Structures are given as C-alpha cells and as structure tokens.
Amino acid sequence: MLAFPTVWACCCWLTLFTPLSTPIAELFMGQGEAFAIYSFMVILFMLVSVEAMKQGEGVEIDEPSSPSSRTSQVSLRQSIIQTLQKFGPQKYFAVPPFGCCFRPCVQPHHITAKQLLWVSRLVRQYVVMQVFVNAYFMWARFTLDPYWEVDAVADPLLKVSGMVAMYGLFVMYAATHELLHRWNTTRKFISVKAMVALSILQQKLLGLLVPLLAEEKNCWVDPEHPEETERLVHFWVTFATLLETVVMSRLI
C-alpha cells in the first residue's frame, strides 16, 4: 500500500522538473493507483481469512503438495462465507459510486462466494486496463496526429474502468468492515479513495480557476501567450498531488 503514494510522489517530482516526461509519469501513476486498489482488496481477503480461522470456523491450510490441500482450501472458503454471513443480510451492492442510486430497491441478502469472485474481477479489470490500454494510448499519443483525439478516448475509458474498480472495492469493504474493525481498514480505505477522488476534482477545479487568473495578467501567465493555460493547470495539479501524497503516506 505504501508503494501507492511513493510512486505518485516520485512521478510528481519528475513531472515538475521535466514536463516532457508527463506521459510516462501518468502511465506509472495510473498503474500505481490500480495496483494499490487491487492490493487493498487482496489484503481484505487475507484479513478475513485470518479472522475466520481465529473464530474457529477455518481449518489449517496444508502445503500445496499435500493431498488434502484442495479440501482444506475449500473448507477455508466456506468458513470465510460463514463468517461474513454471521452479520446478517445486508445491501452489499447498494454502495457508491453506482449502487447508492438504487439502494431503496435492493433487498438485504447474504453474500456468496460467487459474488465475492465477481467483486475481485471488477477490481482486477482495472489493473489490466491500466497496463494495456494506457500503454497503447501512450504509444498512440506519440505516433498519431492529432494526439488530443487519443486523450478524448483514453481518459473516459480509464475513468469508467476506475469507477467500476472502486465500486467493487466498496462492495468488499461493506462486506468486511464490521469484521475487520480492529484492523483500522476504514482509515486505509478512505486514504486510497480520497487520493483518487482529489486527483479528479482538483483537475476540474484548477482547470476553471487558472484561466480566470490568467485573464488578470498575473505572474502565473506568460505575457506573450496568455491563452496557454494547460501547462499551468498541469503544474498546479501536480504540485497539489505531491502534497497530498505526504498526507496519504501518514494515513496508510
């Protein structure tokens, strides 16, 4: 988890001093974000396994070469589901950013192993999208003309994929936060979610604020090209993100 703010901080420093490295920095930042979200979900699964075994529902896992290892793993999966179902039926899928819209229509239910499997796939797809799609569009940005048409496709695609991953992470958190309360998963979950949300909001906010300041002929703007504010927006977004990584590293 600590790799997330570390990668973002290094990429922000690199971008501030070498603006031409922005495409590569964005590639690593996106992959770092996807890896952090997926790692957090894996950690939740591991902690649930530990709690299930502590409560006497789990069994000891044998070595992979042992003939009984497959049976033990099946028993562990069953014990995880039984442990989660002890908290009663809940509206697991009525969570942000999509499920909260139809929360009144959702009936409480017990979560199943198949549903947890699909939740993990929702998060895992974001890792695949970041690695392959972002890498392809970075190549297209350098080879195709005009490059902004590439960004117009890549950015919405990755944002939708990221929102789907966050939805899966919300479902997993909703299913485990009571069981894992003593592990302080809420603080870690908020830190990851806040970092991703701030990176989106500050891009929009500064995108509106910087052009307004540019019209006032202040020292932020090149007098010869007052209409060029894209680089200024990116600079201040990067600087703000760098400060946020310091706060996030303390919360994780």
Compare 250 and 159 and report the one with higher pLDDT.
159
Average pLDDT over residues 145-153: 65
Average pLDDT over residues 191-218: 73
Q: Print burial letters for 103-136: b (CB count within 10 Å at least 16), e (below 16).
A: eeeeeeeebeeebbeebbebbbbbbebbeebbee
Q: Please give the span between the terminal C-alpha atoms of the chain, in angstroms, as a whole number.
A: 7
Is the pTM higher than 0.85?
no
Compare 215 and 243 and report the one with higher pLDDT.
243
Would you say residue 94 has pLDDT above 50? yes
Half-sphere exposure of 4 (CA within 13 A, CB side): 26
Q: Which residue has the tokens 């490059």?
A: 147
Say what the pLDDT of residue 150 is: 66
Average pLDDT over residues 158-178: 89
Say what the pLDDT of residue 213 is: 66
State the Cα–Cα distance between residues 121 and 134, nearest whole angstrom.
19
Residue % of the chain over a pLDDT of 70: 80
